[in-house]
Chain A
């Protein structure tokens, strides 16, 4: 199977440091976060599998130990932004998407 194409969703400058946005990519809701301290961006599914709502892009990002996480705005479970795993309930996880900056644009494969 050929690799999915990179889809541009917004400009890098549209991302406010240490917050998230949601993009619709191939009919999937993708939460994209920018960490100013790490100078890095992350993309995971926007769907909170525990709260059962499309809200993860509106969560607070941070760190727990060495993991970079987002806290669900509904019930505050933490999801690892690199692996998608839920820290409190490992039986839950969210999809992680490749994301990059290309010529000032934020691009996602989904």
Chain B
């Protein structure tokens, strides 16, 4: 009989436990039942703030009913476990349900601590922990102008960011003398405060709130112990967490003096067969309020139940994060409390950077560090600290900027032990990364897909890449990025050569930088590069031999050699007259007609010789080519937006049309899709596009590098609160940077995943102009746009250019191999079986 495993609580850690167990080799020996008092299954609380920038509860979900059903996990929502019967080994829920267990896992998590201040229970006094809390905050914010966060810790500042994003005048009230008192020292806290105040959040430290009473101008008035006061419309309490140990307390499980369920190194409580993991567990008199240690506990509990030997031995509490746009990191003994410890401090008020390292009394080991404003050294310092590695001869170089071997200096990854934890979000060790390289991983994309390393907070991206590169080198794998045998260069290098040497033809490039005749890899790639920079007519005799299957006849070749035709319908907006023209053309030429995913109309089955005649009609009716055949901008999908929609915030159709007309015809390493949504309901599904634009009350939000298709990827939020001009400026820059640096046939999603430094680096390049190339990128884009032509208009206006559009050069006959039958009132190619069936009537083709 299967052992019954009951998990109380389906938060991040409870789910992690279940996920580990059901994927264990012996999973079939266990039956898992989980209870949650919340109305939904586990979701990502770490990313909770994304809820305010458009993520939905679904986006945040870590699992779903289908997955649990597939794994035979029984889950009971909205039914709280209120009692435990250890004698009969049963749990009892609020609804009276009893469920037997062989092993019981308490993963009840924590709850937000609300200081016992009189008046703390008002309607607009809220906390920040669950999706329901966020919904309440959103509602309250709509009826408020000013918001106060009580608590200047990590979560408090995240809550403040949420209020700021909701457009409220935001205050942070902190009892301690500085922000993030747990993680930061005085210098770090001071700089963080300065930076946060600079973006308009008001910070009040050393304030003890005595009472909350009705305000005179605003809803509430907070009276502080020092006699001062502050008026506000809403109050968010974020003054730390407390372990949710109520159930354990009631049932007599041993607790710590200040709460928390006491566990040993196996995560077992003092009651047989009962474990506690996550924020409700107290190990070595300590609660771990981060998710990574919780995940470790989940792993340990699974190991113990399944006969393994993993032990929980404490966890590294180092953190690196971005709060209100400020980079902050804290490592190990950040306060220098180790007796005899010494410190190195670098403080730069001009660039707003603060770094401090705590080292051992003998100056040999790193004990801790605080970084604010520049956290590039985090990976190196954290590994050095956790693995007890020796400091370099001159430790200064670890935090000093712009000196030889300065903060960018990475520790030799070879010095790291195999067990070194590289990605703490997903518990990926150096050994695991090396192992996946040995098994064939060659790119960061591979590593992410195989190990999940650096797909969480992304803090370990640089380090992961170093480990991968070093392992590749050891394996003697020469990572050749040459585009093909004809050029000893990557696509990016070829793009640089073309741009800098002003090369205008493939032959010129091959003569100077390649050999052989070229091939179907390098020719289209170079054709795309030439088009991206000089944007000449792609069917010019100089370029025609470079064009791939679809480009060479400006249509999409189908399986029988005929083409489909997709005119541009910018933003998906089309007049009835134009719709009629499409219908008439399709009818006249008997074309199969289908609506595309990109809000356009696709006409299939056009023969080569028919293309110019069809396009002549379309061009006369005002249509332009849709570039459905090109590695270029495809469509800008939009929702109807504020013009019609009751919920629309901005004119998404207008913006979509502007963007589509701006970037139409721009050639890139691969196709590019856009989406523009008029509000955060996101009906245009912009977050699955290369460029997603979403309207908010404060302006446009820009998302970049999303993808649908085979490997879906949600786009990353790049910038918020943008006006039209800034939005277009950023898109110009990102797109041209992609055109310059992308690999052949690399979509923006993979491009970003393989970019060293990732999203932060891209932001630095595009927003902060770190490489001083933004003016050039914009100029390049402006030139490209100025050279735009509708390739079909050019073609139908020139008889000479149309000559090629014939199946045979020596006769007007057509391809006798084509055969169509009727299905659902339209044509489709006949199958092989149908072709051999003499009884079948084929559709008579139009000349």
Residues of chain A whose beta carbon lies under 8 Å from any beta carbon of chain B = 9-10, 14, 16-19, 21-25, 29, 32, 35-38, 47, 51-55, 58-65, 68-69, 71, 73-74, 76, 78
Contacts and interface: CB of A to CB of B under 8 A. Distances in A.
A76 B804 contact: no
B808 A74 contact: no
A24 B545 contact: no
Nearest to B524: A60
B809 A23 contact: yes
Contacts of A21: 804, 809
Contact of A10 (B486, B544, B561, B809): B809
B112 interface: no
A22 B807 contact: yes
Contact of B559 (A9, A16, A53, A63): A53
Interface stretch (B234-242, B769-777, B811-819): B811-819
19 contacts: A9-B809, A18-B545, A19-B545, A21-B809, A23-B809, A24-B810, A51-B559, A53-B559, A54-B817, A55-B557, A60-B519, A60-B546, A60-B548, A61-B517, A63-B518, A63-B519, A68-B517, A74-B557, A76-B520
Chain A interface mostly: strand
A10 B810 contact: yes
A54 B814 CA distance: 11
A104 B516 CA distance: 27
B496 interface: no
Contacts of B541: 16-17
A65 B517 CA distance: 10
A62 B810 contact: no
A4 to B, nearest CB: 16
Nearest to B560: A53
Interface string B556-571: 0101110000000000
B559 A74 contact: yes
A22 B808 contact: yes
Contacts of B557: 55, 58, 73-74
Interface of B: 485-486, 507, 516-520, 522-524, 541, 544-549, 552-553, 557, 559-561, 804, 807-811, 813, 815, 817, 832
Contact of B561 (A16, A32, A54): A54
B199 to A, nearest CB: 52
A55 B726 CA distance: 46
Contacts of B552: 19, 58, 73
Nearest to B511: A37
Most buried by A among B524, B541, B815: B815
Given A10-B810, A17-B541, A58 B517 contact: no
Contacts of B517: 35, 37-38, 61-63, 68
A88 to B, nearest CB: 12
A54 B318 CA distance: 63
Given A18-B545, A61-B545, A68-B517, A53 B561 contact: yes
A14 B809 contact: yes
Nearest to A22: B808
B371 to A, nearest CB: 50
A24 B520 contact: no
A36 B560 CA distance: 29
B804 A9 contact: no
Contacts of B522: 62
A52 B817 CA distance: 9
A71 B557 CA distance: 14
Given A54-B817, A59-B520, A68-B517, A9 B810 contact: yes
A16 B545 contact: yes
Contact of B523 (A17, A60, A76): A60
A85 B804 CA distance: 27
Given A54-B815, A73-B549, 20 more contacts: A14-B809, A18-B545, A21-B809, A23-B809, A23-B810, A24-B808, A29-B815, A53-B559, A54-B817, A55-B561, A58-B552, A61-B517, A62-B486, A62-B520, A62-B523, A63-B486, A64-B519, A68-B517, A71-B520, A74-B549
